[in-house]
Structure 1
Amino acid sequence: MIPSRVVARIGARAAHEELARQAGSTPVHRGLTAPRSTATLHHGSVRLVLTLDLPYPIDIARASTEIQRHVTEQVVRLTGMSIDRVTLSVQQLVLAEDPASLRAR
């Protein structure tokens, strides 16, 4: 059995990867705190709760869906466990250094 803290770290790392992909740079360079995660294991399945910051402006619904998808795929791939739920808690929206450049995209 994989310990819940290991599964939580996999989830946090996967969220970090997806945030970096969406932002085009690492979340730390964007002023975002590293995602945090807790995992609850029950009979071979996992419930993850992720706490993270998102860059602003951003399509929050789309970004959240993509983070949940990537976290689910990575946890399943690396642990072989099924995912019951991935819950996101957005702590804050962090204003981009140059919001005009993001609007131009």
Structure 2
Amino acid sequence: MTVQSGEVGRPRAVVPPGERGATRIADRVVVKIASQAAREALGPLPGDASPPHAGVTVHHDTARVRIHLELDYPTDIGARCAAVRRHVAERVGALVGMEVPEVAVRVERLHPAHGAAQGRTR
């Protein structure tokens, strides 16, 4: 409600702060949060492993996330990827307020643990 010239003395309607505008979160911010969340979920990585990196597609209040990572070997790949998916979805949802219906995880490389046999064994 606005005050017209003939309405002097009428109180002006106050718009609550949450309804005054819009917040836009850049895709690169969501990428950074998703990458960090994947690092948190994985814990320590082998010394020569690259840190996880992410890609996102944001549409309105929905983010679809792709995580690329490297893991140590041997490991339970399925369980580790499930933990990454869960943690990334939770953190992105909590920190930026977006729905995350999909987190695709791609394992790019496996790093043998120190002392693990390399090559073919019989």
**TM-score computed with the length of structure 2 as normaliser:** 0.72
CA root-mean-square deviation: 1.4
Aligned match of 2:76 in 59, 70, 84?
A: 59
Of structures 1 and 2, the larger Rg is shown by 2
Identity of aligned residues (%): 35
Greater RCO (Cα-Cα under 8 Å, separation 6 or more) = 1
Shift of 1:18: 1.0
Distance 1:89 1:12 in 2: 13
Distance 1:99 1:15 in 2: 25
Structure 2 unaligned spans of 5+: 1-23, 118-122
Structure 1 residue aligned with 2:38: 15
For these two proteins, the number of residue pairs brought into alignment is 94
Distance 1:16 1:98 in 2: 24
Letter in 2 for 1:70: H
**TM-score computed with the length of structure 1 as normaliser:** 0.83
Structure 1 unaligned spans of 5+: 21-25, 101-105
Structure 2 residue aligned with 1:23: none
Q: Which runs of 4+ in 1 moved over 2 A?
A: none
Output aligned runs, 1:41-80, within 5 Å: 41-80=58-97
Distance 1:38 1:84 in 2: 14
As a proportion of its length, which structure holds more helix? 1
